[in-house]
Amino acid sequence: MPVTIRDVKVICTAPEGINLLVVRVDTSEPGLYGLGCGTFAYRHLAVKLVVEEYLKPLLVGRDAESIEELWQLMNQNGYWRNGPIENNAIAGVDMALWDIKGKLAKMPLYQLFGGKVREAVAVYRHADGNNLDELCANIQKYVDLGVKTIRVQCGGYGGGGYSHAPVGTPANAPDGVYLDSRKYISQTVKMIEGVRERFGDTIGIVHDVHERIAPPDAVRLAKALEPFNLTFLEDPVQLEQTEYIKRIRECSSIPIAEGELFNNPYEWRNLIQERLIDYIRVHITQIGGITPARKLQLFAEQYGVRTAWHGPGDMSPLAHAANIHIDIAARNFGVQEWSGIEPPNFVIQELRANHGALLDVFPGLPEYKDGYVYPNDKPGLGVDIDEEEAKKYPCRNDVTTWTQTRNYDGSLVTP
């Protein structure tokens, strides 16, 4: 008899103040369930509704092991495809089905993907600071922990936070995150030059443009950063302007990572086929979960493009674990963003103090050690959820401010 889907439910929790959404799929096999991440932190209630009102009635009673069939069914059932709300809803179910598959096989997921091709996954961490000295002090903390690649920023993405319109903007300009592109480019080049002077070539450096400048400015920035041997420049152009990457390629040898906002295979297909990017940088729940992420990883491998999956704080530990399982079995793995979710036995106790609530809600995280993350060998994803603990940290439905990014004339720019 097949193992069938008995129930699908959504668990929303925010143990670190960031909305996280978990999908639990229960089966006809007593005690057998799977967990998946469907986090879209800024539209979590919309994802919850899609899972509960549309996917659950579609899935209950179907074979839980038919992952490919069910992914295609969920993707096609709403007729219109490849939007972030539906993709995240599908991802939560898809990841839970893979978790079930691993538990049935009594294997960690990486074994189902062909087994290890490396023992651990190299990660990079994010260091910020209000000035170069503060930034370098934060970099040093990670270097002391064994991290070998650091993403560097000064004063947040683009150089500022949400505030009233600054001096130099038009009268009555709205509040927002204001960005002066010329100042940002100049300061970024000086910042990275300063980091190289302090640390030499002992660390890999990543910088995230976050799509916040016009494409011609991205070309200029890439040319200016070429001497500093970056690991990659992240998301230099907007999702809608990726054709400009050809211009960057013509002017600079700097490696490029793109794709944090990708939803649709057409957004990455030509970039990979034409070798216009060096790292594919998708958020795996944003593209629909493990099933499409594995296909993308294998597709990119054929063209020498490496993976650098998105791994921020606004995804649950289940999705972080999914990243690690794919990475450990991928020949074209590059580097993995890691947002600091070290397990309880991690030696730096201040990190345990900073992330204790998250670790209480999600037991079973992969282990960080000396710049690498090691998967655990529990069946499936290897991460569970304590639903009673999760209830202690309800989600909030506030207006998102950090995405209200503006030019100095007050007009909106992509965040």
Instruction: At 385, list the tokens.
Output: 């959820």
Report the alpha-carbon distance of residue 149 to residue 207 in Å, rounded. Answer: 11
Domain boundary among 107, 129, 151: 107
Give yes or no for a contact between 121 and 301, defined as CB atoms under 8 angstroms apart.
no
My answer on whether 217 and 312 are in the same domain is yes
- Asked whether the beta carbons of 405 and 415 are under 8 A apart, the reply is yes
Q: Are residues 67 and 209 in the same domain?
A: no
List the structure tokens of 277: 């990017």
The CATH number of whichever domain residue 266 belongs to comes to 3.20.20.120
Residue whose C-alpha is closest to residue 290's, from 9, 90, 115, 118: 90
- How far is the C-alpha of 12 from the C-alpha of 19, rounded, in Å? 7
Residues 6+ positions from 117 with CB-CB distance below 8 Å: 328, 329, 330, 331, 333
Q: Can you give the pLDDT at residue 95?
A: 98
In a domain, 144, yes or no: yes
Which H or E run contains 356? helix 349-361
Q: What is the pLDDT along the chain (415 residues), one digit of tens a residue?
A: 899 999 999 999 999 999 999 999 999 999 999 999 999 999 999 999 999 999 999 999 999 999 999 999 999 999 999 999 999 999 999 999 999 999 999 999 999 999 999 999 999 999 999 999 999 999 999 999 999 999 999 877 765 788 899 988 999 999 999 989 999 999 999 999 999 999 999 999 999 999 999 999 999 999 999 999 999 999 999 999 999 999 999 999 999 999 999 999 999 999 999 999 999 999 999 999 999 999 999 999 999 999 999 999 999 999 999 999 999 999 999 999 998 765 544 444 444 455 678 989 999 989 899 999 999 899 999 999 999 999 999 999 999 998 999 999 999 998 8
In 3D space, the residue among 251, 231, 368, 238 whose CA is nearest the CA of residue 306 turns out to be: 231
With b meaning 16 or more CB within 10 Å and e meaning fewer, what string describes 209-241?
bbbbbebebbbbbbebbeeeebbbbbbbbbbee
* Pairing between β-strand 149-152 and β-strand 177-179 as defined by DSSP bridges: unpaired
Q: What is the pTM of this model?
A: 0.94
The reply to whether 185 falls in a domain is: yes
- Among 83, 107, 131, identify where a domain stops: 107
Tell me, what's the pLDDT at 355? 62
Q: Domains in the chain: how many in total? A: 2
Residues 150 and 277 in one domain: yes
- Domain end position, chosen among 54, 88, 107: 107
Q: Where are the alpha helices (DSSP H) in 78-129?
A: 84-105, 109-112
Is 207 within the bounds of a domain?
yes
* pLDDT confidence of residue 330: 98
DSSP string of 257-301, one letter each residue: EE-TT--SHHHHHHHHHTT--SEE---TTTTTSHHHHHHHHHHHH
246 plus 345 within the same structural domain: yes
What is the spatial distance between Cα 199 and Cα 192, in angstroms, rounded to a whole number?
10
Tell me whether residue 235 is in a domain: yes
Q: Would you name the residues annotated as active-site residues?
A: 157, 210
CATH number of the domain where residue 91 is located? 3.30.390.10
Domain that holds residue 38: 5-107
CA–CA separation, 381 vs 379, rounded Å?
Answer: 6
Contact 319, 96 (CB under 8 A): no
Assess whether 74 and 155 both reside in one domain: no
Task: Of 245, 257, 207, 250, give the one whose Cα is nearest residue 228.
Answer: 207
pLDDT of 1 reads: 86
Cβ neighbours, 10 Å, residue 375: 24
Angle at alpha carbon of residue 67, lines to 66 and 68, rounded to 5°: 100
Burial of 76 (0-12, 13-18, 19+ CB in 10 A): exposed
Sign of CA dihedral 308, 309, 315, 320: negative
Domain assignment of residue 402, yes or no: no
Q: Which amino acid is at 154?
A: C
Q: Are residues 31 and 159 in the same domain?
A: no
Cα 267 → chain centroid: 17
Same domain, 373 and 224: yes
Do 136 and 282 lie in one domain? The reply is yes
Domain identity same for 70 and 136:
no
Q: Would 410 be classed as within a structural domain?
A: no
| 395 located within any domain | no
Residue 166's closest CA among 150, 149, 151, 183? Answer: 183
**Would residue 19 count as lying in a domain?**
yes
Residues 188 and 272 in one domain: yes
Residues 296 and 335 reside in one and the same domain: yes
pLDDT recorded at residue 364: 92
Q: What's the rounded Cα separation, in Å, for the pair 406 and 399?
A: 17
In terms of domains, do 92 and 230 share one?
no
